[in-house]
Structure 1
Amino acid sequence: MAIAVTIGLMADRYFGVTIEWGLAVACGGVVGWACLNRVRPMLAIVLLWAAFAGLGAAYHHAHRHSFDADDIGEFATPEPSLVRVRGVLTEDPITRLAPKTDALEPIRRPDRDAVELRVTGLGARDGGWVPASGLARLTVEREAGAKGQPPLVGLRAGDAVELVGMLTRPNGPSNPGERDYADYLLDQRTRAEIRVSDTTAGVVRTGTGDGSAAGWLSVLRRRATTALTDALPHHEATVAIALLLGDGSAMEREEWDAYVRTGVVHALAISGQHLAVLAGFIWVILRAAGVRRDRGAWVVLVVIVGYTILTGLRPSGVRSAAMVAAVCGGIVLRRPAGPANAFALGWLVVVALNPTDPFSLGSRLSFLSVFVLIWGVGRWLQPAPLSPLEQLIDASRPLWVKAVRAVGRAIFAAYAITVVLSAVNAPLLIADQNVVSPVGIVIGPVVVILTTVALLAGFLLMLFSSLGWVAVPFAVATQYSLAACTWVVQFADDLPAGANYVPGVSMWWLVGFYAGVAAVVLLGPAWRFRTVCALAAWVLVGVAAPSFRSGPTDELRVTFLAVGKGGCLVIETPDGRCLIYDVGTTSGPGVVRRVVAPYLWFRGVRRVDELFISHADTDHFNGVGELARRFPIGQVTLTPSFVDKPTAEVAAALEVFRKHHLVTRLAAVGDRFTAPGVEIETLHPPPVGPVGSENERSLVLLIRHEGHSILLTGDLEKAGASGLLAQTPRQADVLMAPHHGSRAALPRRLLDWSRPHLVVVSRGIPQGNTVKPTEGGPDRPIWDTHTSGAIILRSHPSGLVAEPFRGESMVVRRGR
């Protein structure tokens, strides 16, 4: 049944199946099964499987595509609109603190409070209210250091609220390779976002959730959180909240990323492993206390299911709770609980709660790991029975020898399990996060032991927190185990080759790999050697495939990435080199993680041969640290005045250069850089000056290829622009508008001087002082990355073509 439902889910996910067709298949299958069950039993079973597949497809389609006519998503548009909304919070608000430790972060980046809102009404123009339904993602942005409490403090799940904010439709990707955030929200049946300014009038509570199920759960979660924060130091408390309650928002982003990079982040999430350990611990305590098996099974069942609900019904937790329920039910009913049926039950329960959860990374990793543990590693590591002679030898050994041998076997088993699961899970992690963590194999068992101690001690701490000194030993155990865990992770993260970022793997290879894993696990010993060899050969194919990039081409590819207010331009030369002009944005270094690195991996880039930084303003270089962490950088080209700017951000960038041993050089007017078929000429700045802001000393590059030219200007303005215009005019087919399209930085003289056929603006939401797309005229269109997404220029002998990520391409100039 579980396999049939999965086929239905995949059919709708990847090919699209209407609800009508899904239900028709389901009904036809049931009717066929009923008619043929006695005559053709095997065919009847196949028809029954088809019925479940059709039901799964219809359920998945209804979840993602069936909404009421008054759903809030029907009122949302790509451009923000001011609305009044009434609704009920479906969860406790989560505060996402802006990073404060990275000097390359924007100085006044806002903190954010986020929560899911079930909409009940929408304000009408006449001041009344009209019915509305559906879910919206509510975000409150508040400036760091703002006085007073933010609007969502004191609110909890179940509270009714009224608010005024900006309603928008969730954004899809703006760049090739970028994750589709709108598609992610659609999996949660959410098609609208509401952003509220940091004012006390932004969100007003109109009713409490007292008495509702969500309200009771919120009270329990807050009491548990308070118990941890009161008993533990701040750092350990944030980690404990992530471990015990599944809320990692209070942790520093860099600390959370360290767990991700070292491959042990699963130890901090509420996973099936945690619940299985907790269930086993409770069972042992109850049996030691003399509690009957059936009563103990009821206690374990109630505690595990309740704890799963308390921590948010995450897919891995739901899977574990369902399997525990199957085992406990078998004990109560005195019936065997087959592992395959328990496994399938967990899958079906996850699907029933949310049919899109099986496509999430956490869910896939959880079920994959359990599959390999039960049918693979569990059998492979099972010791062979001792012969009578071996039994006599073992009985004659001293007690300490037996203890040492037992510990050795346990350590061997722990590392064997870690090695197997790391190897099996690695392709999924590479496909989703582009990271492979060899160090995770070394520290994995250690982290699991420490987090297990913290899990059990922390659970008892929350349970006995009201008893004063009784909870002290549990607080001490929780604190020191988590402190040790953090130290191990930080130490491993600092190792040179502890974690490596790599390009993703293709879907066809991923399918082949996991088909091989299934064969190795399920086929008997006679086939195991051959399947292991075939799987190893397939892995070699996957490792070698990215290396077989196409050879030299006749095309130069220049991509203006959509990074918001900032800049990042990727230049791919015909001989396979990758150059980058600026890497930064006002939203912070995270743009590399979200946009730049995914695009480079999408293009198969493994190395950045040169990074040009136009000038020493943070929004043009604050991604350099994240870029250097993910890609080798051949060298960095700076302006002569870059190192002289006395700011913490410049100092942090220079420290990145030293830490990663990056070679730097300076570029000034007259310098030329060449690659086969490509010439890059520096037009500005001079070796000294001009006097003024860094914008006036921006690095201006003219790229030539096959008779086509592209002019890059950074934030050039004022005296710098005057100096450039004093030179001999240079015709440019494409002009990068200076200073993100500021009217003051794009005078008519610059357009006449360069005579472009296309003007490209790298910017976020247009401001009042920036040029509009209509101002260029029919012969000189203006494209901006906010509207068009990434803008790709492809130069080859037949012409120069511009391709926006959103919109129609155009021929900028035909070949000579």
Structure 2
Amino acid sequence: MKTGMFALALGLLALRFLPALPPAAGVLAMCVLALMLLPFRSHPLAFFLLGLSWACISAQWALDDRLQPALDGQTRWVEGRVTGLPQQTSTGVRFELTDGRSPKARLPKRIRVAWHGGPPVRSGERWRLAVTLKRPSGVLNFHGFDHEAWLLAQRIGATGSVKDGERLAPARNAWRDAVRQRLMAVDAQGREAGLAALVLGDGSGLAAEDWRVLQDTGTVHLLVISGQHIGLLAGLIYGLVTLLARYGCWPPAWPWLPWACGLAFAAALGYGLLAGFGVPVQRACVMVGLVLLWRLRFRHLGAWWPLLLAFNGVLILEPLASLQPGFWLSFAAVAVLVLAFGGRLGPWSAWQAWTRPQWLIAIGLFPLLLVLGLPISLSAPLANLFAVPWISLVVLPLALLGTVLVAVPFVGEGLLWL
């Protein structure tokens, strides 16, 4: 089974290295051949072809959903609903529209627009906008940011500039935006945008100077929600239930182990939904679920099997995730830690357990950062040595607890201020 899962992963990843998608007849032939090979011993090839076929089909759907060439550069009235978290900028606001409709024109399902000098826009609102539409595009500079690939990975079929608009309906089911507005309204000593980034994964409010500091010190992963935050929260909930059961404070009628595993996974999923359920969060939730399942069933799954299942799970849900650098960095960092901690003989000292992971990750991710053209920070191991435990054990628990209790007078806001 592991061989088949590995072959499936290779097939899903092959999309990333194709110069062009195969024709529909070729994809259909791969699907038929894979189904024919499944009953035989050559099943790894079948899994590879199934993964490649699904990745090609998904990518073709994304390409077919892009703006028609005839509409490129035209200004049209578009009606749609705002999704995600709108990004307030110094000149206006950027946001995404879904289910956009325009008279006598078929539009992509998702459109990313910028409104310079526009009014405040909230997630969940419905707008009628005059938009100058553009097909997704980007520069071809070597090692530069590939904006077109990023738009494709986000399944954004068009971009545009808003000229005018009117709000048709107020916000609906926009709880993430409501949480952000509440966080931005509290007194956090000028770091309200940092709290929104830590709790919601929304870094749009951070200043350019903040991003420069985070990049120079290699600590971006601490402000953009990563698997570390998900695992930490699940571990805290699991440890709390275990502690209550050990000291006789847990209801005897409730078996503590299933409750500990269930509540820990629910906390991981809840935080993942709060963070927008990006690729690192998906990987973390899958791996946390597998670890808790192992704990509940008392079975040893090893380290690579959950990682491989999480890898395939993310790519099956979104094959275009392999176009994002965060996908590679997320799984590569976990793989480095598995290699570092899994093959050691005997326990490490507290000093070794604290210092070695940072240096190993810095060395292990160096080639990948170089290939992806991302900035490399020489001070990252030293900065993370202090920043990781500080953020993970002090700042993040206070931020999450303060967010949950923000409706309680003085308590929530006091925690967020602290």
Q: Tell me which interval the TM-score lies in, with the shorter structure as reference length.
A: 0.7 to 0.9
Tell whether 2:52 aligns with 1:57: yes
Would the alpha carbon gap of residues 381 and 206 (structure 1) be closer, same or farther in structure 2, given more than 3 Å must change? farther
For residues 25 and 340 of structure 2, what CA distance do their matches in structure 1 show? 40
Farther-moved stretch of structure 1 (347-356 vs 274-283): 347-356
Q: How does 1:319-718 map to 2 (within 5 A)?
A: 319-380=283-344, 382-383=346-347, 409-452=349-392, 453-471=394-412, 474-477=415-418
For residues 343 and 18 of structure 1, what CA distance do their matches in structure 2 show? 32
Letter in 2 for 1:305: L
Once the 2 structures are TM-superposed, how far is the Cα of residue 175 of structure 1 from its aligned partner?
4.5
For residues 208 and 58 of structure 1, what CA distance do their matches in structure 2 show? 42
Once the 2 structures are TM-superposed, how far is the Cα of residue 188 of structure 1 from its aligned partner?
2.1
SS of residue in 1 equivalent to 2:224: coil
Indicate the residue corresponding to 2:93 in structure 1: 113
Could you state the TM-score of these two structures normalised by the residue count of structure 1?
0.47
Once the 2 structures are TM-superposed, how far is the Cα of residue 58 of structure 1 from its aligned partner?
2.2
Letter in 1 for 2:264: V
Once the 2 structures are TM-superposed, how far is the Cα of residue 377 of structure 1 from its aligned partner?
3.2
Q: 1:11 aligns with which of 4, 11, 14?
A: 14
CA contact (8 A) 2:150 2:324 kept: no
Would the alpha carbon gap of residues 228 and 207 (structure 1) be closer, same or farther in structure 2, given more than 3 Å must change? closer
For residues 351 and 141 of structure 1, what CA distance do their matches in structure 2 show? 36
SS of residue in 2 equivalent to 1:52: helix
CA contact (8 A) 1:155 1:205 kept: no
Indicate the residue corresponding to 1:183 in structure 2: 149
Farther-moved stretch of structure 1 (456-465 vs 54-63): 54-63
Indicate the residue corresponding to 1:27 in structure 2: 32
Tell whether 2:197 aligns with 1:204: no
String of CA shifts for 1:380-425, please: whole Å, max 9, x gaps.
37428xxxxxxxxxxxxxxxxxxxxxxxx32332211111100111
For residues 364 and 63 of structure 2, what CA distance do their matches in structure 1 show? 42
Once the 2 structures are TM-superposed, how far is the Cα of residue 461 of structure 1 from its aligned partner?
0.7
**RCO (CA 8 Å, sep 6+): is it higher in 1 or 2?**
2
Tell whether 2:113 aligns with 1:138: yes
Indicate the residue corresponding to 1:74 in structure 2: 68
Once the 2 structures are TM-superposed, how far is the Cα of residue 454 of structure 1 from its aligned partner?
0.7
For residues 475 and 350 of structure 1, what CA distance do their matches in structure 2 show? 33
For residues 181 and 472 of structure 1, what CA distance do their matches in structure 2 show? 38
For residues 70 and 231 of structure 2, what CA distance do their matches in structure 1 show? 43
SS of residue in 1 equivalent to 2:22: coil
* Identity fraction in percent: 23
Would the alpha carbon gap of residues 175 and 425 (structure 1) be closer, same or farther in structure 2, given more than 3 Å must change? closer
CA contact (8 A) 2:340 2:357 kept: no
Q: 2:182 aligns with which of 226, 234, 246?
A: 226
String of CA shifts for 1:676-704, please: whole Å, max 9, x gaps.
xxxxxxxxxxxxxxxxxxxxxxxxxxxxx
CA contact (8 A) 2:12 2:315 kept: no
SS of residue in 1 equivalent to 2:319: coil
Q: Point out the structure with the larger helix share.
A: 2
For residues 321 and 436 of structure 1, what CA distance do their matches in structure 2 show? 28
Q: How does 1:279-294 map to 2 (within 5 A)?
A: 279-290=234-245, 291=250, 292-294=256-258
Indicate the residue corresponding to 2:76 in structure 1: 83
Would the alpha carbon gap of residues 11 and 436 (structure 1) be closer, same or farther in structure 2, given more than 3 Å must change? closer
Output the aligned Cα RMSD: 2.5
Count of aligned pairs: 403
SS of residue in 1 equivalent to 2:123: coil
Tell whether 2:198 aligns with 1:243: yes
Would the alpha carbon gap of residues 370 and 451 (structure 1) be closer, same or farther in structure 2, given more than 3 Å must change? same
For residues 87 and 312 of structure 1, what CA distance do their matches in structure 2 show? 20
Would the alpha carbon gap of residues 463 and 176 (structure 1) be closer, same or farther in structure 2, given more than 3 Å must change? closer
For residues 23 and 342 of structure 1, what CA distance do their matches in structure 2 show? 31
Indicate the residue corresponding to 1:155 in structure 2: 122
SS of residue in 2 equivalent to 1:276: helix
Would the alpha carbon gap of residues 224 and 381 (structure 1) be closer, same or farther in structure 2, given more than 3 Å must change? farther
SS of residue in 1 equivalent to 2:67: helix
String of CA shifts for 1:405-447, please: whole Å, max 9, x gaps.
xxxx323322111111001111222333453322112121101
Once the 2 structures are TM-superposed, how far is the Cα of residue 359 of structure 1 from its aligned partner?
3.4
Moved over 6 A (4+): none
Once the 2 structures are TM-superposed, how far is the Cα of residue 336 of structure 1 from its aligned partner?
3.9
For residues 278 and 313 of structure 1, what CA distance do their matches in structure 2 show? 15
Would the alpha carbon gap of residues 334 and 319 (structure 1) be closer, same or farther in structure 2, given more than 3 Å must change? same
CA contact (8 A) 2:87 2:94 kept: yes
CA contact (8 A) 1:350 1:358 kept: no
For residues 18 and 57 of structure 1, what CA distance do their matches in structure 2 show? 13
Letter in 1 for 2:188: L
String of CA shifts for 1:765-812, please: whole Å, max 9, x gaps.
xxxxxxxxxxxxxxxxxxxxxxxxxxxxxxxxxxxxxxxxxxxxxxxx
Would the alpha carbon gap of residues 469 and 65 (structure 1) be closer, same or farther in structure 2, given more than 3 Å must change? same
Indicate the residue corresponding to 1:165 in structure 2: 131
For residues 50 and 112 of structure 1, what CA distance do their matches in structure 2 show? 51
For residues 372 and 175 of structure 1, what CA distance do their matches in structure 2 show? 30
Once the 2 structures are TM-superposed, how far is the Cα of residue 267 of structure 1 from its aligned partner?
1.4
SS of residue in 2 equivalent to 1:436: coil
For residues 192 and 470 of structure 1, what CA distance do their matches in structure 2 show? 44
String of CA shifts for 1:623-667, please: whole Å, max 9, x gaps.
xxxxxxxxxxxxxxxxxxxxxxxxxxxxxxxxxxxxxxxxxxxxx
Q: 1:122 aligns with which of 84, 102, 120?
A: 102
CA contact (8 A) 1:166 1:195 kept: yes
For residues 313 and 333 of structure 2, what CA distance do their matches in structure 1 show? 18
SS of residue in 2 equivalent to 1:462: helix
String of CA shifts for 1:282-313, please: whole Å, max 9, x gaps.
11112112250101111111111121122111
Once the 2 structures are TM-superposed, how far is the Cα of residue 271 of structure 1 from its aligned partner?
0.4
For residues 371 and 77 of structure 2, what CA distance do their matches in structure 1 show? 41
Once the 2 structures are TM-superposed, how far is the Cα of residue 23 of structure 1 from its aligned partner?
4.3
Q: Point out the structure with the larger strand share.
A: 1
Could you state the TM-score of these two structures normalised by the residue count of structure 2?
0.88
Once the 2 structures are TM-superposed, how far is the Cα of residue 68 of structure 1 from its aligned partner?
8.9
For residues 115 and 315 of structure 1, what CA distance do their matches in structure 2 show? 20
Once the 2 structures are TM-superposed, how far is the Cα of residue 247 of structure 1 from its aligned partner?
0.8
Q: Which runs of 5+ in 1 are unaligned?
A: 37-43, 98-110, 125-129, 143-149, 385-408, 478-816
String of CA shifts for 1:80-138, please: whole Å, max 9, x gaps.
221111222232311233xxxxxxxxxxxxx24222222442234xxxxx554432211
Q: 2:159 aligns with which of 187, 190, 193?
A: 193
CA contact (8 A) 1:19 1:58 kept: no
Once the 2 structures are TM-superposed, how far is the Cα of residue 459 of structure 1 from its aligned partner?
0.7
Letter in 2 for 1:426: F
Once the 2 structures are TM-superposed, how far is the Cα of residue 48 of structure 1 from its aligned partner?
2.3
Tell whether 2:277 aligns with 1:274: no
CA contact (8 A) 2:227 2:284 kept: yes
SS of residue in 1 equivalent to 2:75: strand
Would the alpha carbon gap of residues 347 and 441 (structure 1) be closer, same or farther in structure 2, given more than 3 Å must change? same
For residues 132 and 228 of structure 1, what CA distance do their matches in structure 2 show? 34
Q: Which runs of 5+ in 2 are unaligned?
A: 251-255
String of CA shifts for 1:316-347, please: whole Å, max 9, x gaps.
11101111111223344454444322212211
SS of residue in 2 equivalent to 1:54: helix
Letter in 2 for 1:320: A
Once the 2 structures are TM-superposed, how far is the Cα of residue 275 of structure 1 from its aligned partner?
0.9
Letter in 1 for 2:84: E
